[in-house]
Each structure stands twice: as C-alpha cells, then as structure tokens.
Structure 1
Amino acid sequence: MNTLGICLSAFLLLPLPTEPGDVLPKGYLPAASLLRGWALLSDAPLVYAEDKMGNTPVNLLKPFTLNHQNFQLLEALLNNSGLFLKPVGSADQPRAYWITYNPLADPPRPKPIIEVIQLEHLDPEEAVDLLRSEARSKEKNLDPLDRYSNFVPSPRTNSIVLNCASNARLNHYLRLIREKDQRPPPNQDRPALKIWKAQFMRAPLLAELLEQRWEDRGGQGIHVVVNEPTNSLLIRIPEHLWKEAQKMLQDLDRSRP
C-alpha cells in the first residue's frame, strides 16, 4: 500500500468532528471529515451527488481549526480537491448544500408547477392561510432537494396562485380549496346591514373608493349609503363577505403622512 493509502486507512478510523472548534490533524484526510465540519458551521444538511465523495482525499498542510473565521478556507480546500458545495434554496439561508464534482452544475431540484385558481366564495387571504397550514403538516419532512409549496393571494382578482413541486401535491391543494370554496349556509348568505364610522376620510370619498375597489374585485355586489352627519357608511352586504369588506375599509380609511 502506498503512503496515501496508508494515511487514508488510518484517518478513516478517526472520529468525525462533533462541534465547532474541533481541530483536524494535518495530512491526508477523507473529505467526509471536512464536509462534516462544513455541516457543523453552516448548520445545514449535506446532499451528495455521489456516495463515494466522502472518500475523496484532502491534504491538510497543517492542523485545521473548524470555526467561522476559516469558513472560506474550508471551502477552498474542498474546491481544490474537486468538491463543490452548492446552496439549495436561498443563498443567504440555504436549506442544504449539494456536493458535486462539477463547479457549473446546479442542484437537481423539481421544476415548479404554477396554477391560478379563481375563487367564488372564499376570501383569497383566508384560502392562503388554509393552504399554508395544510402545507406545514404535509411538507414538514421534505427531502432537502425538494421544493416547498408557495401560495400567493390576489384580493384584486379574487384568486390565488399555487406554486408546487409535483402534480400530486398541486392536486391535493386544489381539492382542498374546492371543498372549502362553497356557498356559505343560507343564514350567512343573506344581506346584513353594517356600519362603518370613517376615521380619517370623508364618508362620501370613502364610499366611492370602496365601491370602486369592490367592483374591481368582481363577484357579488354590495350597497353603500353615506350618512354625512355622522361621517359613516351604511353597508348592505352578505354576512360572509363582511370580513373582506372590513379589510378593504381598514386599508382605505387610514391616516397617511
């Protein structure tokens, strides 16, 4: 066995580093020791493009202390040995690092599937809250290279945008929304009379802005009457839509610099 083989055989028996501050001895080490140090310092899991990568020899000319000051040097040592670490997800806060021999390669992640769904009865923000709650449970143990689903409400168009990593996942969330996007019980669908006391705007202008925004929203209409002596609005609206109208009023009727 040559000198390199003897060194590797000996160092393969060494325990891997367990915490920042550990010192790696000089000489030839398997890359697994340095990669374990990278995982400790970055607090992110590693995904290998090939299982054999951990056996790649890395030559340390002197003892190496695993700390954040040596983070860039650690990456340079791995790069010089032919191993490249690619962040998965955000570069600032990666979910994981993908280890590859190819410096130009990107992590093999599923392509996003995007769909827009128009809502009839459900408020877009409530729908997104529902989907995010479901995703927290369904996607809590995803593979590091997988993608989390993302949901964006569009109150202006009364729709939501779904961004998922698989058709199966997308269809699951679509079924959930279709089950929830139903006409409410009759007692909630009947018009109710609501009063809004304007705080920062004249009631006539507030009424005009509210009606314009509600018309842009589309769907079931509302009826607004201005009470100028009290600077308030009388709004006839189905009970289940009042919460959405309140959000619009809060956005319109607020102090501005």
Structure 2
Amino acid sequence: MSAEILLLSLVLSHIPFVEDLGTLPAGNLPAGVLFQAYTAVSGNPLIPENERVGNRSIRLAVPLVLHRDSEAILRALLRKQGIFLMDLRSGRPKFGCYATTDPTAAPPLFRPLVRVHRLRYIKPDAAIDLLRQLASQLERSLREFEEPSRFVADERTGAVVVNCFSRERLRRYLELLEACDIPPEEGTHRPILRTWKARYVDPKSLAELLEKSWQARGGQPLTVVVQVSSGSLLIRVSRHLWPEVEGLLGVLDRRPGS
C-alpha cells in the first residue's frame, strides 16, 4: 500500500463523513467534521497531525453551505481555533493538506530524503551502529504516517546511505557522521576529568552513544561514568581532546527535532 493511500485511509477512519457538499449546521462541531468538509470541497485528502486535533470544538454562528469555493472559509474557521492547514506536495503542485496546531511544523514527506555520505576514517558498519543509536532516541514517537529511517552501509565505496522522512532528523544524522568521521589523534597527553550535565537525552543512553561514537573515531580512549543521582556524565579524557568530546556531546545531547 502506498504512503498516500495509507494516509488517506487513516484520515477517513477517524473523521465523520459529510454527505456530498451539503450544509454544516450552526453550533459546536468537532474539527474533524470541518476536515471532512474541506476534503469534500477541495477533492484532496486532509491529514491531521494526530487524532486529538480532530476533537477540537469549532463554533459556527450560522449554517455554512458548502461549495467549491468554501476552502478559504474552512481554513479561516480552523485557523481561528489554532489549527493550521499546510499544503502537501507529492510530485504534483498540490496533493492535499496537513492539519497541525504548530504553525512552524514541517508537513510530512511522502518520499524519503536520500543522502549518500562518503566516509574517510571510520568504517560504514561502525557509522551505521551510531546512526541507529541516535535514531532510537530521535524516532521514539513517530507519527502514525511516518516511517522509521533506514541506513545502508556501502563497504565497496566506504559510504553510508541515509533514507529519512524528516529534514530535521536527516540533518542530525549527517551532523553525527561529520562529528565522528575525523582522524584519530596520536601521542599521549595528561588526562583531565570533566562533568557533562545531560540536558535532553537520558544519561545512560547518552553515555552509550558517546562511547560508541568515540570508539568508531579511533585513537585514544575515554572513560565515562554515569552519575544517576545528578543526571551527569563524568568523563576522563586527554586535555587536548576535550574540545572534540564537548563538540560531540553537543551533537548527541539535543532536544528531538532541534
């Protein structure tokens, strides 16, 4: 089943049906009724960000007679209640709309973004492990119509292929690859002890991500101890390497979607 058909089936399974174009009665109506009305007048599907948004109450002061030019009125009624309609694209000028309560949200993609990232120092299999670790954090709560990212190692060319349905997550994955794919340091320097307070990622998960990322990088090892009580990491590493560790932590320990 294609992504477009799946999305449309999800919409129709949760939203009441409006007969023909018809008339919407005055009074309080669920936003889902207006969603179906919009689909009827526009001829295109409308995809809500979740089931709850369709339960919002919309008040009509007078009955609304639906016709082919009612799109603007329905958009205005929904926007007044904090529901924004964003145009969806699927290889055509316009496929439908995405209903969201966040005016800055990115509409869902119907085709994955594909990037081929050529590695210089770490092996593709090691990079895949790192990407999957980060994906387990970023993709815990995918929306109904979203698919998980896929990562493929190309050992022949030394590259990683990333398939992702989110521009923001793709950016995070590419940043991780850039941060890890650096030459190992040689020589020994006096170690130091530093503390990193976990901000957005669970401390134990962050420690695991950091250790795996650093191991893939190669070179001098580091030691990480999790302080559960304070939600912090104690990190022992050569002094001259701390800026790189700190930069890597900045990539790993970020708010999902940022």
- Which TM-score bucket, shorter chain as reference? 0.3 to 0.5
Q: Rg larger in 1 or in 2?
A: 1
Give the TM-score, by structure 2 length: 0.37
Give the TM-score, by structure 1 length: 0.37
